[in-house]
Amino acid sequence: MAKKETFVEIACREVAGFSDVYAKLEQKIILSSQSKSTFTNYGRKLAHLCLHFNALPHEVSDDQIDEYLAKLARSSKTPSRSAFKHTVYGLRYYFRFMGLPKRAISLPVIPNENKLPEVLSKQECKRLFKAPDILKHRVVLSMIYSAGLRSGELCRLKISDVDSGRMMIHIRRAKGCKDRYVPLSKNILLGLRKYFKLYKPKVYLFNGKEKGAPFSPNGLRWIMRESVKKAGILKTVCVHTLRHSYATHLLEDGLDIVTIKELMGHDCIESTMIYLHIARPEKRKAFSPFDTLYGEAKV
């Protein structure tokens, strides 16, 4: 069965000049150490627009682009309007790359959404991790939550990145091309050993469909979607919800915000502080620091 062409591949074939521009944009992203997933989103939306007009964005008038964006905004079914936002961001990046800053500025301004992320309760997490019938799927979901991983980080994990001697996981070239270490759960290690014995992975910790290929983000999304339905979870969640739940539960368990920032791989503490608005730590009885300094006296 022939592999279905992507919108980017079709645009490279059908729209004059798109292939060259796409290659140059990709090169710029790589050289500037920006996220590959960001470029993938931008590239896909630019391909949609180019196929719609059969022309490159700078060859399309502002009025035509405004009309296209307005239609996209109206037809978007998600509250975040992700398709609309990524198209605007992609166009803004494209126009700046082409030396057309005025056209980039003239694009719609997308206000910041001060929306708190959805998180799962600990009981919902347990139901979710128990839901899949396949061991590999149970381990994959549990692994993401246990280490606060992004989808791409889980897919890129190699066997050599799991250090059971030091009980650490090495996350390589994460967002911003930064490495970090996170603790390896003892319970996860037991699950991984069962998984290893049954699946015998070679290079990547979780193999994809093709031999030697990493697990795919699409596969992760499917596992999450089916597991959420089976677990009877009614919240609107996605794979990234497990990362949000990880940070929130660590905060509720008493871990300090600075350490959570390092574990999450955030550039600034402001990104981590959002979880202060979500976490519901148990209230502790008020005490004097003098008693923690010397130990509480018996009176």
pLDDT at 2: 56
59 and 157 assigned to the same domain: no
96 included as an active-site residue: no
Domain count, the chain: 2
82 and 155 assigned to the same domain: no
Helix (H), strand (E), coil (C) string for 109-155: CCCCCCCCCCCCCHHHHHHHHHCCCCHHHHHHHHHHHHHCCCHHHHH
Is there a domain that residue 287 lies in? no
Catalytic residue among 243, 244, 249, 261: 243
Handedness of CA 175, 177, 181, 187 (dihedral sign): positive
Catalytic residue among 150, 156, 249, 261: 150
Catalytic residue among 45, 85, 137, 266: 266
240 included as an active-site residue: yes
Is there a domain that residue 82 lies in? yes
**How far is the C-alpha of 103 from the C-alpha of 109, rounded, in Å?**
12
268 and 128 assigned to the same domain: yes
pLDDT at 34: 67
178 and 66 assigned to the same domain: no
133 and 264 assigned to the same domain: yes
Catalytic residue among 42, 94, 246, 275: 275
Residue 299, CA distances (Å) to 277, 284, 286 in order = 39, 21, 18
Q: Which residues of the chain have pLDDT under 50?
A: 1, 79-80
pLDDT at 50: 96
99 and 199 assigned to the same domain: no
69 and 164 assigned to the same domain: no
CATH of residue 59's domain is 1.10.150
With a CB cutoff of 8 Å and minimum separation 6, the contacts of 134 are none
CATH of residue 138's domain is 1.10.443.10
187 and 157 assigned to the same domain: yes
Full residue range of the structural domain in which residue 79 is found = 7-105
249 included as an active-site residue: no
33 and 127 assigned to the same domain: no
94 and 154 assigned to the same domain: no
93 and 134 assigned to the same domain: no
pLDDT at 85: 86
155 and 265 assigned to the same domain: yes
175 included as an active-site residue: yes
Are the C-beta atoms of 45 and 84 separated by less than 8 Å? no
266 included as an active-site residue: yes
Is there a domain that residue 50 lies in? yes
pLDDT at 112: 66
Catalytic residue among 175, 244, 249, 261: 175
pLDDT at 114: 66
pLDDT at 80: 47
